[in-house]
Amino acid sequence: MTPGGDSLFERRTSVRAFLDRPVDKAQVADLLHIARMAPSGANLQPGRFHVLAGRPLAEFSAALTGAEAAGSPHDADYSYFPRPMPAELKALQRAAGFALYAALGIDKRDLDGRRAQFDRNYRFFDAPVGIVVTIRPDMGKGCFMDLGMCLQTFLLAATDAGLGACGIGALANHGRLVHDHLGLGADELVVCGIALGHPDWDHPVNQFRTERLSVEEFATFRGFD
């Protein structure tokens, strides 16, 4: 059973376990078409999506997991998180991580178990479809925001279609490998990956939900009675 509330927005969640069922190419194309309906400043529509399935995805995942196992240095072209991470944000990050590991029965002191779970990012959580998202490196920060709205629209469209998806920021850790393996040009900066497929709602990893801030914690109101 799908966790969350009744609305599409409440039902969307990061899916990290999938059924062994393929996703049709035409359905992925439809989701990408819907994603492009997201707002875009000056209609620049930043970002490209490289979709892999079957053998190409298996070979790509093997290259990523091999690089991670070999201890290849991370070479992301941009910083996903603030450096250094402020204490209040670090607390949120840790809470989300501990909730994930708890759902899987991984003790917070089990470093090997935590590492093995993190490495599943590089296998796209064994989803039947893996997507690599890139952006032109000369785009401004606002274009990253527009790409984010495009990504959110994609994730919501996937949920609405009965599919599940998960963004994979860790993919950018091996940006050079991604470039070389997929033959990307210098005009593409690796932003993230997306795992896409039919959710396995019986899997414990898909049962937990992260806590979100209350409106009072992140918003102010002026001029209301």
The pLDDT tens digits of the residues spanning 183-196 come to 999 999 999 999 99
Exposed / middle / buried, residue 75 (Cβ in 10 Å: 0-12, 13-18, 19+): middle
Work out the pLDDT band at 6, boundaries 50, 70, 90. Answer: confident
Q: Output the pLDDT for position 3.
A: 63
Q: Output the pLDDT for position 2.
A: 61
Angle at 37 between CA 133 and CA 128, to 5 degrees: 40
In this predicted structure, the answer to whether residue 153 has a pLDDT above a threshold of 70 is yes
Tokens 């078409």 correspond to what residue? 33
Q: Output the pLDDT for position 98.
A: 86
Give the pair of three-digit tokens for residue 114: 């935590």
pLDDT in tens, 163-176: 999 999 999 999 99
How many Å apart are CA 87 and CA 85, to the nearest integer?
Answer: 6
Tokens 């509330």 correspond to what residue? 5
Domain locations in the chain as residue ranges: 11-77+121-205
The CATH architecture one would assign to domain 11-77+121-205 is 3-Layer(aba) Sandwich (3.40)
pLDDT in tens, 24-36: 999 999 999 999 9
Q: Which of 46, 197, 69, 64 is nearest to 136 (CA)?
A: 46
Beta carbons of 17 and 192 less than 8 angstroms apart: no
Percent of the chain with pLDDT over 90: 86
Q: Output the pLDDT for position 29.
A: 98
In this predicted structure, the answer to whether residue 74 has a pLDDT above a threshold of 80 is yes
Determine the average pLDDT of the residues in 120-127: 98
Q: Output the pLDDT for position 109.
A: 87
Percent of the chain with pLDDT over 70: 98
How many Å apart are CA 151 and CA 159, to the nearest integer?
Answer: 13
Q: At what angle do helices 87-103 and 111-119 cross, to 10 degrees?
A: 90
State the DSSP code for 109: T
Please, what is the average pLDDT of the chain? 95
In this predicted structure, the answer to whether residue 181 has a pLDDT above a threshold of 70 is yes
Work out the pLDDT band at 108, boundaries 50, 70, 90. Answer: confident
Determine the average pLDDT of the residues in 15-20: 98
DSSP character string of 124-155: GGG-SEEEEEEE-TT--HHHHHHHHHHHHHHH
Give this prediction's pTM.
0.94
In this predicted structure, the answer to whether residue 4 has a pLDDT above a threshold of 70 is no
